[in-house]
Amino acid sequence: MSETVLTVRDLSVQVATPSGAKTVLDGLSFDLKRGETLCLAGESGSGKSMTALAIMGLLPEPMCRIAGGSVKLGDLELTTLGPRGYRDIRSVRVAMIFQEPMTSLNPLMTVQDQLAEVLLEHGACNRGEAPARALKLLQDVQLTEPERRLKQYPHELSGGMRQRVMIAMALACDPEVLIADEPTTALDVTVQAEILDLIRALQKDHGTAVLMITHDMGVVAEMADRVVILRHGQEVESAPVRDLFAAPQSDYARELLAAVPRLGTAPPRPEMEKGAPVLEVSDLSVRFDMRGGILNRVQARVHAVEQVSFTVRAGETLALVGESGCGKSTIGKALLGLVPWQGSISVLGQQTHGMGPGALKPVRRDIQMVFQDPGASLDARMTVGEQVAEPLVIHGLSSGSEMSDRTAELFRRVGLSPDMMQRYPHEFSGGQRQRINIARALSLSPKILVADESVSALDVSVQAQILELLQSLQDEDGLAFLFISHDMAVIEQVADRVMVMRLGQVVEEGVRDAVLHSPRHPYTRRLLSAVPVPDPTRPLPERQAGDASGTPVLPVGQSPEKLILRDLGAGHRAAV
C-alpha cells in the first residue's frame, strides 16, 4: 500500500463579500498517495484553485480564509501553521506550478539567479554549488541550450520555456507533493504535450505525488490516476479515472464529459450549396519592422504573414489553425485594416487596398470580428445594451425606439433576455459576455464573421453552447466564418475547410476530413498527435518530434523561402 502524503478532510474556504461571508469551498475531502496523480476537475468558479491556495497557505487573508477542516502533509497539520512554518515546507515538501509562469517569475532576475535563490533559501546547496545545481535542474526539465538559458531573463523565453523553468524551481528541493494549477492552459497544444510528458517523466523518476488542477478532460484522461470533480465548491464525484470516463455516476459529470469536443467524432458537415465568394485574399503579406541601435534604424523584419491566399464563400467556414506566432490572428486584423498589409483583399467584390478610414467604414459593416477575451472586448463603463447598439449609432442605421427594438432582438437571437440590456459587463459570466460580443458583431448584419479564438477562454460546456449558437446563426443567415483557433477538436466541430499555418505561411489546406484525418505535412501531424484525448483507456500516443527550426524574424532585405503547395487531389494541398 502506497504511503499517503497529503490528507484533506472537510476543507471549507470562505471569502468576504459586502453581504457577508460566502463559502467557495465546502467540505472537500481526498487523499493523495506517493507517486499518484489526482486531478481536481471542474469549470471556472468550482473551487479548484482555492483548494491549491489553501493547501499552500497562499489564501489572500483576511479577505479569504480557511473556515474549517484539516489539511495534513504526512503528520503535519497545515491549517494551524503560521507564515514561518509555511516557509519551511514550501518548495521543500510541497511545491506549486502556476498557470501563468510570467506572473510567477521575477522579470529583473536571470533564470540562474531565480533557481539559485530557491536552492539557497532552503539550504539545498551552498553559493558555490548553486550554478552547477541550477544547470542540472534545467537539464532535468529538458530545456534546450541550458547554459544559455541560465543567463537569460524570463521575457527572453517562450511560454513553454518559462513553464519548464517554473517546473525546475518547483522540483529544486525534491518535494513530496507537486501542485500543478492549470500548468498548460496558456500553452500551445504541442508545448502542452511536451510539458505533460515532462511532468509524467519527472514524477516517475522522483516518486512525487501530483495534484493536477485542470478544466480539460483530455488532460485528465492522460494524467490522472483518480479524479475529483468539483462544482460550486462542492465535490460532485470522486472515482478512479477509468471508472469516471466509463460510467460517470452524477448528471454533472455526464454533462461535462458529453460537452468535451473529441477529435475524430464530429459528424459529417452537411452538404450545403455554398454561395458566391464573399472574401477573396491573394498574396497577403504583413511585416513589422524591428528597430534598434543608437539611430533607431530598422535592423530586422518580422514576416508575420507571407503571401497567403484563400477564398471564403457565403455559408462556409474556413478554419485557420496553428500555434502562437504563426500569423493566424494577424490575418484577421489585416482583413479589418487594423494592421498595415500588402497584397489583395476583396470583400464582396470590393478591393480594400489603399482605402482610408472613411472608405473602409462601409466595408467593415460586412466583416465583423469576435475576439478571444470577452471581458477585454467590452467597455466596463457602458451598459451592454449601449455596446450592442453602438455600431448602429456609428453607422447611422437606427435610432430611438427602433434601435431599442433592434438591440432587444439581437439579445434574443444570442440566447439572452432583453431584460439584461441595462446591466454592465461585470455582472455577466464569460459565456454570457461572449454572447454579447456576438450580438454586437451581428448588429450590422455582416456577411463575414472573423472569430479569433472566440471560445478558447471559455469552459467546455459554455464552449459547446457558443459553437452551437454560431452554427445556428450561420444556418439562418448564410454567414461566412473565418474561424481562427489552435484547438484541433474545436476546428473539427465547425470547419468546412482547414488551413494550417506555420511561421506566416500555409503548410497544408483542404476540406476538413482530408486535412484532419489524412494529414500530409509533418507539422499538421505533429499538431494532431499532441491533442489530449479524453479516453484514459487509450495508449499514450507516440509524440511527433518537435521542429524548432525557422523564425519569422529575418534581416532587412531577406525574405523567407516561399513554400510550394503540391496538389494532392480534391482540393487537398500541402508543402510536401
More confident residue, 94 or 531: 94
Q: What is the pLDDT of residue 273?
A: 64
Reduce the DSSP state of residue 330 to 3 states and report it: helix
Q: Which residues of 443-475 are buried (b: 16+ CB within 10 A; e: fewer)?
A: bbebbbbbbbbbbebbbbbbbbbbbebbeebbe
Say how far apart CA 212 and CA 534 lie, in whole Å. Answer: 15
Distance set, CA 428 to CA 49, 407, 424, 455 (Å): 21, 17, 8, 16
Percent of the chain with pLDDT over 90: 58
Average pLDDT on 65-75 reads 94
Pick from 160, 460, 560, 470: nearest CA to 323? 160
Rounded Cα–Cα distance for residues 296 and 388 (Å): 42
Please tell me the predicted confidence (pLDDT) of residue 545: 52
Cα gap 544→290, rounded to integer Å: 33
Residue 563 has pLDDT above 60, yes or no: yes
Q: Prior bond to 541 cis, omega within 30?
A: no
Is residue 169 predicted with pLDDT exceeding 80?
yes
Q: Which helix (H) or strand (E) holds 574?
A: strand 573-574
pLDDT for the residue numbered 291: 87
Q: Is 321 left (phi over 0), alpha (psi -120 to 50) or beta?
A: beta
The mean predicted confidence, pLDDT, of the chain is 90
Grid coordinates belonging to 70: 484539516
Go through the domains of the chain in sequence order and give each one's CATH number.
4-258 (3.40.50.300), 275-360+482-532+541-576 (3.40.50.300)
Report the C-alpha gap between 132 and 128 in whole angstroms: 8
What is the structure's pLDDT at 19?
86
- From its phi and psi, is residue 422 left (phi > 0), alpha (psi between -120 and 50) or beta? alpha
- Which three cell numbers, joined as nine digits, stand for 270? 452537411
Residue 70 has pLDDT above 60, yes or no: yes
User: For residue 525, is pLDDT > 70?
Assistant: yes
Residue 393 has pLDDT above 90, yes or no: yes
Residue 389 cell numbers, joined: 447598439
Per DSSP, the three-state class of 529 is: helix
* Mean pLDDT for the stretch of residues 33-50: 91
φ/ψ of residue 395, rounded to 5: -95, 5
pLDDT band at 431; cut points 50, 70, 90: confident
pLDDT of residue 550: 73
The pLDDT value given to residue 486: 84
Cα(415)–Cα(493) distance, integer angstroms: 20
CA distances from 536 to 193, 221, 413, 515 (A): 15, 4, 38, 26
Q: Which of 337, 340, 332, 338 has the alpha carbon at shortest distance from 350?
A: 337
Tens digit of each residue's pLDDT (9 = 90 or more) over 235-279: 999 999 999 999 999 999 998 888 887 877 777 776 656 789 999
Residues 539-555: tens digit of each pLDDT: 776 655 555 567 888 89
Whole-number Cα distances in Å, 396 to 59, 361, 367, 393: 50, 12, 17, 5
pLDDT at position 321: 93
